[in-house]
Amino acid sequence: MLINKIKAEISEMLSEIFDGATIMVGGFGEAGSPIELLHGLIDNGAKDLTIIANNAGNGRVGLGALIGQKQVRKVICSFARSAKGITFPELYNNNEIELEVVPQGTLAERIRAAGSGIPAFYTATAVGTPLAKGKEEKVFNNKKYILEEALYADFAFVKADVADRYGNLTFNKTARNFNPIMCMAAKQSLIQVKKIIEPDKTNPEHVITPGIFVHKIIKIDNPIIETNAIEEGMIYP
């Protein structure tokens, strides 16, 4: 028997999702955003979700669509404002969705910490600002720092470029962004990739996310391009 993390159907990818789950969603803007997995989650119907991502979705596609379906209880992100954002602002202004604002670097580091066995760390970011409120403060070398806790997730939704059946991933340019660290932080990371190669074609020096951080893979060779979909007025479902 050979290790093979590749699945044929989105429903198999999402078979263990549950109501109330915490889900990390990779991508920065649309680069690296796992739109097909998010649409699968709409079909799946899980609700009361907590989403950890950099943004809060655009239009009615991908994360924007999921939020529009009212499946999301809370968003933890650095930047929930967007020129093309529709669904999050609607719900937020009606107090129908919670928001935790986290500085982008602190967000990245809290995610990496979860994947690296670090329950909390000190940082200078946000010291003296409203985002430091309620956080433990400590001085090292005459400088103030605050304590930030790791951000764990049940699932990570990730879009990569190339995978092998072990789950070794590479990404395309700035579509890398949050994806590798989210794979580390989630109990189960679910990956959509454009291309699948044989393991002996994977160069061990070039792997960005090693298979140990990857649980299920599906090939989506022609994914939706968010910019185009929004321009064309796509609404999912």
Among other proteins, a copy of itself, none, partner that 81 touches (CB below 5 to 8 angstroms by kind): other proteins
Nearest to other proteins of 118, 235 (CB atom):
118
Largest CA distance in the chain: 57
Report, in Å, the least distance between residue 65 CB and other proteins.
Answer: 19
Residues of the shown chain interacting with a copy of itself in the complex, contacts defined by CB under 8 A: 109, 113, 116-125, 138, 140-141, 143, 145, 149, 170, 173, 204-206
Q: Is 193 left (phi over 0), alpha (psi -120 to 50) or beta?
A: beta
Q: Which is nearer to a copy of itself, 212 or 235 (CB)?
A: 212
Residue 149 binds which entry of other proteins, a copy of itself, none, CB below 5-8 Å type-dependent: a copy of itself
Of the pair 51, 114, the CB lying nearest a copy of itself is at: 114
Q: Which residues contact 162 (CB under 8 A, 6 or more apart)?
A: 169, 170, 193, 194, 195, 196, 197
Given the complex with other proteins, which of 15 and 174 has the nearer CB atom?
A: 174
* Interstrand relation of 137-140 and 143-149 (parallel, antiparallel or unpaired): antiparallel
- Output the CA angle 71-75-81, nearest 5 degrees: 110
Indicate which of a copy of itself, other proteins, none lies near residue 211 (CB less than 5 to 8 Å, by partner kind). other proteins
**Please, which residue, 40 or 167, has the CB nearer to other proteins?**
167
Q: Least CB distance from residue 176 to a copy of itself, whole Å?
A: 8
Nearest distance in Å: CB 45, other proteins? 27
Q: Which does 119 bind (CB under 5 to 8 A by kind): other proteins, a copy of itself, none?
A: a copy of itself
DSSP-derived 3-state class of residue 114: helix
How many Å apart are CA 107 and CA 124, to the nearest integer? 13
Amino acid at 231: E
**Binding partner of residue 207 among other proteins, a copy of itself, none, CB cut-off 5 to 8 Å per kind:** other proteins
Give the total residue count for the chain.
237
Give least dist CB 119 to a copy of itself, A: 4
In this structure, what token pair is assigned to residue 33?
């955003």
Q: Which does 111 bind (CB under 5 to 8 A by kind): a copy of itself, other proteins, none?
A: other proteins
Q: How far is the CB of 44 from other proteins (least distance, A)?
A: 25
**DSSP character for 119?**
S
Question: Which residue intervals of 69-150 are DSSP H helices?
Answer: 87-93, 104-115
Specify the 3-state DSSP secondary structure of 36: helix
